[in-house]
Amino acid sequence: MRRETLEVIAPTNEEFECLYNLDLSNNKRLAQIRDVFCFACVTGLRYSDLNLLKREHIKKDEIKITVKKTKDLLTIPLNHYSKAILSRYAGMLRPLPVISNQNMNYAVKDVCKLAGIGEPTEIVRFRGTKREAITYPKYQLIGVHTARKTFCTLSLEKGMSAEEVMSISGHSDYKSFKRYVKITEQRKKVVMVKAWGGLNEEHRLCR
């Protein structure tokens, strides 16, 4: 039997920024869910580890946590997104207002819809030789698990190496890591310019 390659659904950097900056001052519940989801997008943490996160796991500029799935100790550097989100809940006993996985999955779709993440996205499946394609608005395909894929995809797009991303996300081998990654057109541009230079750079001529 041939195993199908499943689509990697992840917000683009522009969609992430729209979500992160979305004004939800009139809806505290959705604002908190958006913050937890965005925190996962910029740290690569699984839901199970978000749910276990305690104040003692957060040091000055990093998170140190033994992840539930692999029992490995991970060190995750904080950035200005994750620090800003943590600061919003500084007065709470727990670092983040994490709710149940099921309820968060439903609500993440709602908040992504409000952020305008609705690009038509085609999902293709094969039943034998029959091809079935269904198009959904992108927000319908986003759940808690999408945050980890978003971290991996956008980190590569921003120029981090696969090894660097894997060391933060806790992926132990490239085969499992690759399933989480969508090589975007922007990523291709970043690595091409990094390797070969930009269009406006001068070239040295051999004489």
Q: Which two tokens stand for residue 61?
A: 């500029």
121: Cα within 13 Å, side-chain hemisphere:
18
**The residue to which tokens 């997104």 are assigned:** 81
Q: Is the pLDDT of residue 107 over 70?
A: yes
- Per DSSP, the three-state class of 183 is coil
Q: Is the pLDDT of residue 198 over 80?
A: no
Candidate from 51-65, 70-84, 181-195 with smallest mean pLDDT:
181-195
Q: Which two tokens stand for residue 113?
A: 């819809």
DSSP per-residue letters across 76-101: EE--HHHHHHHHTTTTSSSSS----H
| Interval 40-50: pLDDT, tens | 999 999 999 99
CATH number for region 13-196? 1.10.443.10
Q: Is the pLDDT of residue 183 over 70?
A: no
Q: What is the CA radius of gyration of the chain?
A: 19
Averaged over 17-25, what is the pLDDT? 97
Averaged over 5-13, what is the pLDDT? 79
The reported pLDDT for the residue numbered 203 is 54
| Interval 71-106: pLDDT, tens | 889 999 999 999 999 999 999 999 999 999 999 999
The reported pLDDT for the residue numbered 15 is 96
Q: Is the pLDDT of residue 156 over 50?
A: yes
Cβ proximity of 154 and 13 under 8 Å: yes
